Structure 1
Amino acid sequence: MQIDGAFDNRELQREGNLRGADDTHAWVKQDTRHNILITGIETPHGLHLARAFYATGHNVTAVATGHGLLPLHARLFVKLSRFYQLKHALAEEYAGESAKEILDLVQRENIDLWIDCSQPRHSSYLRHTKAVVERRSRCLAFFPNDKHTDLFAGPDAFLGYAGSRGLPSLDNYRVGSRAEIHNVLNNSQGKKRYKLTRPDGTGIKPVLPRRTLSQTYHAVSQAKVQKDSPWQLRQYVEGQERYTTVGIVVGGHLRAFAASPLPAPKYLCLLPPLSATSKALRSYVEALCASLGDDFTGHTIIDFVTDEASSLTGVERLHLSVDGRLEPDASLLLFQGLQGYLVLTQSYLAAVASVANSTVSETAEHYEGADNTNEVLAGRVIYSLGYDLSQLAILPVQNFLSLKIGIVRLFGSLFTLASHLLDGQECVYHFGDPLPFWWLYQVYLPLSLVQSALQPGSRRNTSRLQALTI
């Protein structure tokens, strides 16, 4: 078997205490527990899913996909049934070897459901491994098939599909001549603005149309558009409100949903599920999932931007999709607390054909008196301590000492940091399970930074560190 570093945590479970989880795990009947495999346990959402499945009474086997000399912080989560470190990376160049490792692990641990949280994700490798695992075992791999991954291959592919289904999305055109550019601008009647980019992704500076017709013609004349190498003309909505959503979909039906505004790229904050914005975004995602068909099972991460348009009744707010992805990310952290854990696990287990209805219904009934934690945490920021310390403390102090910012801006950054520490939720920390957080910030990250400094330019070190934060 091509797996090393196997680590059995069953004995340590007697000593650990994940708050609010031990009673659940003991209460759920042995024959209704499921064996869950999570690859990419080192990511914040991978560790979060492991905690959620344990808290709701299931056995979790974890696989770390990162490679390094230092033990990963997720290994210290004592509730894991087993912990493995793969010998081969989950990448195309090791597709055969790593697929055999995963299959051997699935058969040895009698896995029912496999969820991949690894970053970066290699879709072609996962499709191959999914086919091998599902053909030679009873395990279900929770990610979509080739037909659906092609629809989400990139922003252009996703916007093209959303537009073909009549779903509101950013206008996106491939233009092969200046005349086509002018046609799009004329049809918009000045109500929309566009950004023109070259095939390699770079763009001309002016946003179209310009203030005057002559300025617009001059800007378009600078673009060397060719039929055999069309440029991209995409609607420009910079500066508007932005949101991200996460969905867990089984058989084309949206089983779980959460949304968050994006005031900054590294923060998440749950929108109240009953708010008008959350309902509108959910309706969009439900329509998208229904259009994908009954054979679609997986995650959906859809980003939106809010635009305003005049109507007969006043100003109408439009939620336009910007991008869509099928890879799970830190947005899964929006499902917090026991209520969030129940929503997550019920949604995933709906995909397992052998799951007993009593597993979900009895567990929910046992905790029907619990607080709706997912509602309570609406508005609470989910953050990464490492990112906050660098961006809200170290960098502002450096800029202040070099006279790049004033004292008001410095204290504003420090106040934001303090508010996150006092009232936010760190992406790795859990009150009943503090060891992974302690090891990550006291041992693993400091030593990894030293290693990166000694090996400058190492892309593997950089990507591994980025995967540990949201």
Structure 2
Amino acid sequence: MSALGVRRAGLRQILQLIRRFQQGQILRHLLRITISLALLPLDSTILFVAIAIGHLSSLFSHSGPAKRRSEILRDVQFRPKTILITGVNTPHGLRVARCFYQEGHRVVGADITDIALASGESMSRALLAYYRIPKPQYGSKLLDVIQREKADLWIPCSQDTSVMEDAMAKQSIESKTGCKCITLDAEVAMQWSHRETFMQYLIENDLPIMECHQVQSRDSIHRILHRSPTKLYHLRRSAPALKQDTTIVLPKRTLSLTYLEVSEIQVSKDCPWLMQQQSRLGEFVADLLVVRGHVAAITIRPAKEESDWGCSPLNDGVAAAIQKLMENFALKSGPRNTGHLSVRLMVDQELNVNSIRYVVHIAACAHGAATITQLLHSTPVYSLISGYLAICSESGVVPNHSPEVLHGHNRTGLSKNPSQRPSLFRMLKGYDVRKVLPALYPVAQLVDRALYEVVELLFWKNWRFSTTDPLPWWWHTHVYQPSRELNLVLQHH
């Protein structure tokens, strides 16, 4: 066969693969539409029952969200605020909107999208108005919405915009309107977005970080150990090209063993080693809402999902040490520090004669809409709303909540990580079956994805569903999503 024939045969095979892929995509779209139509009678019945129960409870019940909202609105001293929330098409965005609505405020929702079809979240009873903001005109359109609705507070929850885009929008909004913004200033956001500049900021403000030294002699190793006798270090070669990387733990049980170990290390200027401080208790995460340099809400959790840390009286000391450091961290950043933060922390313990002291070091910091989820699910509504609204008050003072309120009523302040849905992929990965059956991993991922999509159609696992606000779930499942699937099918043709 000639070279031209080989090329044509290869091209035909590529086109066949593309057609098969497109056919598979079309079948998946059609399957989702079919499932949505099959569940329509059941889900419509659930929708009407939920609406009926909501109306009856508002008429006869003496408690509940509807009753609380009506009581708040009857208070002559209550002054509702207009809250703009971008990203109501996210779980945390819709939850924040519902929380503010229950507390009697006017809520305006917006999504960063070019799709003209109304989303399920736009149908929420919590929203007084809803806007679609195109990504290319994000800053200008956002400013138009704020001026039109006379918004008092903007809370960015969208994951379709970057931290710097939100920071630049804040600069424009607060300079031209009276609206306050729950996001970092552009200068702070830029500094904290890069690890090197963030670490430099921590050092300049005398905040604790994990030590990391490049050592070039045995004397420098001894000096570091003598300066910090209670700290634990890992020592490894700096050269990344070495296939077998030896890690040495220092100090040893006795001083003589430590000296013996160091004396055998071949370290010099030409062959430096890296000496990194380690934490004995592991890594934790503090999710924060910071308003004008004060912690308005905080949730503390272990970084690893399988960690045994959680609600236990033995964890009080760890939680107290972390909270104290986070309050100091927020305070040193000053009034410009307003936003959602997720701070990674390394916790060490120093054993004294009659006591144990917990020492917390800051390892990294993430900020923006992506850090909100855990905080919202672990913080009481009143604490969250009052923390947000503190920025709108003339004094700007954040309410001084008790530790129980700040930590979501956990006595210790340490929250357990939320249990994840069952996953075939994670189970197989735990047994490391790839060595035996390498094809099982992608199959397991496909099974997990299919199960997730089926479960999403069931209201009791869908974050859009609420007994007091069921329409977003129904509209998304039976109007918005099928319309998008049908549009994708037509595009393939």
Which TM-score band (shorter chain)?
Answer: 0.5 to 0.7
Are 2:222 and 1:170 aligned? no
Are 2:73 and 1:29 aligned? yes
- In 1, Cα distance between equivalents of 2:307 and 2:113: 21
Amino acid corresponding to residue 173 of structure 2 in structure 1: V
- In 1, Cα distance between equivalents of 2:117 and 2:311: 34
CA contact 2:340–2:367 (8 Å) conserved in 1: yes
- In 2, Cα distance between equivalents of 1:292 and 1:107: 30
Quick check: which has more Rg, 1 or 2?
2
- In 1, Cα distance between equivalents of 2:309 and 2:141: 34
Q: Secondary structure at the match of 1:75?
A: helix
Q: How far apart are residue 137 of structure 1 and its match?
A: 1.8
Selected match of 1:289 from 304, 322, 330: 330
Q: How far apart are residue 281 of structure 1 and its match?
A: 1.3
1:41 corresponds to: 88
1:367 corresponds to: none
2:345 corresponds to: 304
Selected match of 1:78 from 116, 122, 125: 125
Amino acid corresponding to residue 26 of structure 1 in structure 2: S
Amino acid corresponding to residue 84 of structure 1 in structure 2: Y
Structure 1 portions without partners, runs of 5+? 1-11, 226-231, 365-370, 405-409, 418-423, 456-470
Amino acid corresponding to residue 25 of structure 1 in structure 2: R
Selected match of 1:217 from 248, 266, 269: 266
State the percentage of identical aligned residues.
Answer: 19
- In 1, Cα distance between equivalents of 2:322 and 2:197: 20
2:141 corresponds to: 101
- In 2, Cα distance between equivalents of 1:273 and 1:24: 37
Are 2:227 and 1:179 aligned? no
CA contact 2:234–2:275 (8 Å) conserved in 1: no
Selected match of 1:375 from 409, 413, 434: 409
- In 2, Cα distance between equivalents of 1:265 and 1:68: 40
- In 1, Cα distance between equivalents of 2:207 and 2:248: 25
Are 2:379 and 1:342 aligned? no
Change over 3 Å in CA distance of 1:204–1:425 after alignment to 2: farther
CA contact 1:46–1:117 (8 Å) conserved in 2: yes
- In 2, Cα distance between equivalents of 1:57 and 1:300: 27
Q: Secondary structure at the match of 2:127?
A: coil
Change over 3 Å in CA distance of 1:354–1:191 after alignment to 2: closer
1:42-61 equivalence runs, <5 A: 42-61=89-108
The number of residue pairs the alignment matches comes to: 396
Q: Which moved more, 1:325-334 or 1:254-263?
A: 325-334
- In 2, Cα distance between equivalents of 1:165 and 1:23: 48
Change over 3 Å in CA distance of 1:350–1:202 after alignment to 2: farther
1:65-214 equivalence runs, <5 A: 65-66=112-113, 72-87=119-134, 89=135, 94=136, 97-119=137-159, 121-172=161-212, 179=216, 183=220, 186-188=223-225, 191-193=232-234, 206=245, 208-209=247-248, 212-213=261-262
Q: How far apart are residue 346 of structure 1 and its match?
A: 0.4
Q: How far apart are residue 139 of structure 1 and its match?
A: 1.1
- In 2, Cα distance between equivalents of 1:452 and 1:233: 54
Amino acid corresponding to residue 84 of structure 2 in structure 1: L
Q: Secondary structure at the match of 1:275?
A: helix
CA contact 1:302–1:321 (8 Å) conserved in 2: yes
- In 2, Cα distance between equivalents of 1:168 and 1:288: 10
Amino acid corresponding to residue 279 of structure 1 in structure 2: A
Aligned residues: CA RMSD: 5.4
Change over 3 Å in CA distance of 1:141–1:294 after alignment to 2: closer
- For residues 52-89 of structure 1, the C-alpha deviation after alignment (integer angstroms, 9 at most, x for no partner) is 211211122122225668765533433222222222x2
- In 1, Cα distance between equivalents of 2:278 and 2:98: 40
Q: Secondary structure at the match of 1:382?
A: coil
1:7 corresponds to: none
CA contact 1:144–1:297 (8 Å) conserved in 2: yes
Change over 3 Å in CA distance of 1:240–1:372 after alignment to 2: closer
Q: Secondary structure at the match of 2:326?
A: helix
- For residues 188-228 of structure 1, the C-alpha deviation after alignment (integer angstroms, 9 at most, x for no partner) is 36831257779xx99987365468548753799667x9xxx
1:218-237 equivalence runs, <5 A: 234-237=276-279
- In 1, Cα distance between equivalents of 2:222 and 2:302: 30
Q: Which moved more, 1:108-117 or 1:12-21?
A: 12-21
Give me the TM-score of the superposition, normalised by structure 2: 0.62
CA contact 1:269–1:382 (8 Å) conserved in 2: no
- For residues 227-281 of structure 1, the C-alpha deviation after alignment (integer angstroms, 9 at most, x for no partner) is xxxxx975445x8432211222222222222212233299997899993322221
Change over 3 Å in CA distance of 1:204–1:394 after alignment to 2: closer
Q: How far apart are residue 301 of structure 1 and its match?
A: 1.9
Q: Name the structure where helix makes up a greater proportion of residues.
A: 2
Amino acid corresponding to residue 74 of structure 1 in structure 2: E
Q: How far apart are residue 33 of structure 1 and its match?
A: 1.0
Structure 2 portions without partners, runs of 5+? 1-47, 251-260, 439-443, 452-459
Selected match of 2:370 from 329, 344, 347: 329
Q: Which moved more, 1:284-293 or 1:13-22?
A: 13-22
Give me the TM-score of the superposition, normalised by structure 1: 0.65
Q: How far apart are residue 356 of structure 1 and its match?
A: 11
2:64 corresponds to: 20
- For residues 351-400 of structure 1, the C-alpha deviation after alignment (integer angstroms, 9 at most, x for no partner) is 0146999xx99xx9xxxxxx999327985653565xx4465579789959
- For residues 157-182 of structure 1, the C-alpha deviation after alignment (integer angstroms, 9 at most, x for no partner) is 33332233333321245x5xx63898
Change over 3 Å in CA distance of 1:186–1:76 after alignment to 2: farther
CA contact 2:151–2:179 (8 Å) conserved in 1: yes
CA contact 1:45–1:333 (8 Å) conserved in 2: no
